[in-house]
Amino acid sequence: MKAIKICLKPKGCVLIISMIFMVILSVLSISIATMSDNNLQIANNYSKGSRALESAQSGLEILRHYLDNIAVQPTLSSVASKLQSDMTAYYTSGDSTIYIPNVTLNSQSKQYYSAVITQVDAKILQLDITGKCDDITRTIRTNFNFDETGNSVFDFGVATKGPLSMTGQAEIDGVNTVDIAIEASVYVEGVNGLYGDSFSITNNASVAGNVSIADPDGSYTVGTKASVGGVEGDENVFVGVPYVEFPIPNPDYFSVYATGPTINSTTNISNYTVLNNVTIAANTNPTFASHVIINGVLFIESPNHVSFAGQSTINGVIVGDGNLDSPDSSIKFSGQVISSDASILNEEQFGGIVNETGTFILAPGFSLDFSGQANTMNGAIAGSGISFTGQAGGMINGSIINYSSDVMTLTGQTTLTFNRSGRDSNPSGFTSTPILKFNPGSYSEI
């Protein structure tokens, strides 16, 4: 009987098993390679996303540089005008939007930013700033607010658009020695030196504070006996300082309080020794005798030339509704002026005017001339051409603002002593230009 042989090694088994392992390893290799490529792409996209966000944040910082703390009217068109002077910005009135197209930050890494600015309401601007890196974008949103603040021009004792000339023994002084540099400081917007000095002080005239001239080409003359900032010479005269925004005078603000009689050219003004919320009609040109008393508001329509020949007592505010661009009127005081604000009046009789404080004269388009004895003036004085002569002057509880490009003069023994003029808000009747402020709490990524 023959033995039967059994084969325990099937032919090709090893080859098949090897091929299976090769396939498995190939699949694993491909999977790992694919995962590696995906991870690389994810990392690349993450890097681009981070750079895109950085680009948006850089755009925000650039826009903050141009917008934060600027004085501008609260309209998109006004903001666009500011931006257009520094960068490419387009304002479209149809959809009330400012567009800032791509601004290159890094051309090698293809980083850019763009922005869209809209006005949410009267006090809020919304900025959507999109950063881009290659084909990845990120957008952030933030707000800027229009904040009402006191105009910095009221930080000066005297602020004038035109030149200032001081002669004789004229003085600008401060009542508080601690704040005298503020109270008795002078700001001159100035004129080109070809047309004369922006500031001139001669004889024994003096300014207790500093004198700041904005016009970089403004010239000045300081006489040998004159003093500025407490010392003789010009070391406290500064040229080329930043320009200061003058507030917009708004005489119509007070018109609602002029509820009393109207004086015109046919009125016998000798019967008017007490004027309660009176209006003086245009072209009346009255001269008031001594000891006239003005309570509330005296509203003077332009054109007009109004004179006070003797002592005048004003418990309130004198307002002229002239035109800043074409002054054609005047107010002249040749006697003593005693001024208090309307808060001393009876509210039941005079109404809301008693709450309107901080202003003594608001008369754009009117030249103001003071030539009487020492005065007390409780509030800001604003006009288009201002002069103090003789022994005029006295205590000024506010600032003097001259809107005229003509020379403002202080001559003779005029002494203007200013009580603290800095304020947190503007005096009544002055419209401040809002300040645009970045609101960091509004930041978000969208």
Neighbours of 371 (CB within 10 A): 17
Residue 378 pLDDT? 86
CA-wise closest residue to 180 among 228, 220, 233: 228
**Which residues are within 8 A (CB) of 194 and not within 5 positions of it... i.e. 6 or more apart?**
none
What pLDDT does residue 183 have?
75
**pLDDT at residue 38, as a whole number:** 65
Q: What is the pLDDT of residue 202?
A: 95
Q: Which residues pair with 125 in a beta bridge?
A: 119, 144
Q: What's residue 86's pLDDT?
A: 86
Position 293 scores a pLDDT of: 95
Specify the pLDDT at position 424: 61
pTM of the model: 0.72
pLDDT beneath 50: ranges in the chain: 193-194, 422
| Long-range contacts from 393-396, C-beta under 8 angstroms, 24+ separation | 393/171, 393/417, 394/337, 395/175, 395/419, 396/157, 396/421
Whether the CB-CB separation of 436 and 83 falls below 8 Å is answered with no
Q: What are the domain boundaries of the chain? A: 50-150+434-445, 152-429
